[in-house]
Structure 1
């Protein structure tokens, strides 16, 4: 056979709809991997973290800083650091334990007590290990004092944070349902660190003021 008689097979072009479907499939897989292990978007539905986070703020959560969580596998892997006091975290609400997947809620609060710390609330003031703990972000919108015996909002006896757990509070201290009421957050329930506000929408404002431009791209402190 002469050289001129040798033919090379020609590539068969895929139909456009198949190429489109494959591209969508790859994009969906990448998005799922990023959402599961790297970063996830959340929206703020309540005012418990005002004025740090407002209703309608959209934020991104770093999911690998505290270690990668593999679905259906216990433990964390490739941990960069553990949660620290002052971190704003997203976590699975402890009281939703045992509910089906669609009934579980995500909460966002700030870490106040670390494992081994003693946390106490006296007349609205927070004490950690016997020392006052006050941060610039905290606010109080209620003038009244809830007396001891009528709820833990303003008076809570000293409690020790168990190993592997965290005590969290909302920055809007008088209007936050947090560890004072339902206890501690297990480290395995923490989804990640909230680190930036990428969008903010005020549904109550006029159309020209609905976008809170001054909050876009701002780090969460």
Structure 2
């Protein structure tokens, strides 16, 4: 009987000990899982904080110091090509406080000959909230993702890059596609090409695609177009010039073509002052008032620039491209 009781006690103690050990092991496993979970959460929290801090640093740098930008068109060829990716210095001319909201003072103002990035005067913003989201994604992807697109899926031309050809006090005009200056205190017009290569600000080389021989044809064709629209029969010379231009695959200087038309309309309708005003502005050029500049593309015959939308406020100038980082074959400074 004693032996049975002893065995019963031993079995009971073993069972209780096993249950206690099992509970202890279970508690240890649960504690280890909690510890690993807490460690993982701490690591994830740390990574999230580091990610947020990195994002904020990148955003601050790109909003106020330097930002990546992709060249959208060929208006600056051969200086900047379509698809070139450049770093834009935003500090020198003063960055925006927030996208499309205010502007901080800059270290200096754009000088004649500087390449500038500015807000497109023709751009219609969808709203501040969208602009902030668009700029956030654009900056965080180093210009690889652009959600600001039109109905056809093409990026909207929100920002433009051109050269500051005219600055405050200058008078600038174009004659047959060539730029002429009348500087403050000077006694007449000076051709841009006479100044190229004479100093850093005139070290660029504009590209011309329209032949000088095209302009007499454009003038005659413009006269023919106006006469036809007014119900007159254009002369043979005008009709031949128009047909030659229409059959030709050469690029046309449409700004000069429109200006020639305004001149002919002003001659036919002296009572219509708008025709004379537009023609006179083209003939006498633009006066650049304080606080503004005149931007033109280096690819003069294939650029939608200040000839069409006029001068640009310095408050709309966001920066200047200083370094090209893509493609690899074109890595280098921008002038």
> Shorter-chain TM-score category?
0.7 to 0.9
Q: How does 1:99-114 map to 2 (within 5 A)?
A: 99-100=126-127, 101=131, 102=148, 105-114=158-167
- Contact between 1:153 and 1:180, CA under 8 Å: does it hold in 2? no
Aligned equivalent of 1:80: 107
Quick one: distance in 2 between partners of 1:90 and 1:196? Answer: 13
Shift of 1:163: 1.9
- Cα deviation, residue 69, structure 1: 3.1
235, 250, 255: which one aligns with 1:152: 255
Query: How many equivalent pairs are there?
Result: 196
Partner of 1:37: 64
The runs of 5 or more residues in structure 1 that have no matched partner are 1-11, 201-211
* RMSD of aligned Cα (Å): 2.4
Please say if 1:133 is aligned against 2:133. no
Task: State the alpha-carbon separation in 2 of the partners of residues 73 and 175 from structure 1.
Answer: 31
TM-score, normalization: structure 2? 0.54
Q: Which has the larger radius of gyration?
A: 2
Structure 2 residue matching 1:108: 3-state secondary structure: strand
Shift of 1:67: 2.5
CA-CA distance at 1:74 after TM superposition: 3.9
Q: 1:190 aligns with which of 313, 317, 326?
A: 317
Q: Please, which of 160, 172, 176 is the counterpart of residue 303 of structure 2? A: 176
Q: Distance in 2 between matches of 1:34 and 1:173?
A: 33
Moved over 6 A (4+): none
Check 1:137–1:169 CA distance in 2 against 1; reply closer, same or farther (3 A cut).
same
Post-superposition CA distance 1:96-130 (Å, at most 9, x none):
15553346611000000001211111122101112
Counterpart Cα distance in 2 of 1:142 and 1:42: 29
Partner deviation per Cα, 1:120-150 (whole Å, 9 max, x = no partner)? 1112210111211134420111223344978
8 Å contact 1:58–1:198 — kept in the other structure?
yes
Cα separation, partners in 2 of 1:151 and 1:47, compared to 1, 3 Å: closer
Alignment correspondent of 2:9: none
Are 2:181 and 2:190, in contact at CA under 8 Å, matched by a contact in 1?
Answer: yes
**C-alpha separation between the residues in 1 aligned to 2:181 and 2:104?**
27
Hey, what does 1:120 align to over in structure 2?
173
Rounded Cα–Cα distance in structure 1 between residues aligned with 2:171 and 2:49: 54
Task: Provide the rounded CA distance (Å) in 2 between the counterparts of 1:87 and 1:195.
Answer: 10
CA distance in structure 2 between the partners assigned to 1:56 and 1:96 by the alignment: 21
- Equivalence map 1:66-77=2 (5 Å): 66-71=93-98, 74-77=102-105
Greater strand content: 1
Partners of 2:101 and 2:82 in 1: how far apart?
34
| Kept in 1: contact 2:95–2:319 (CA 8 A) | no
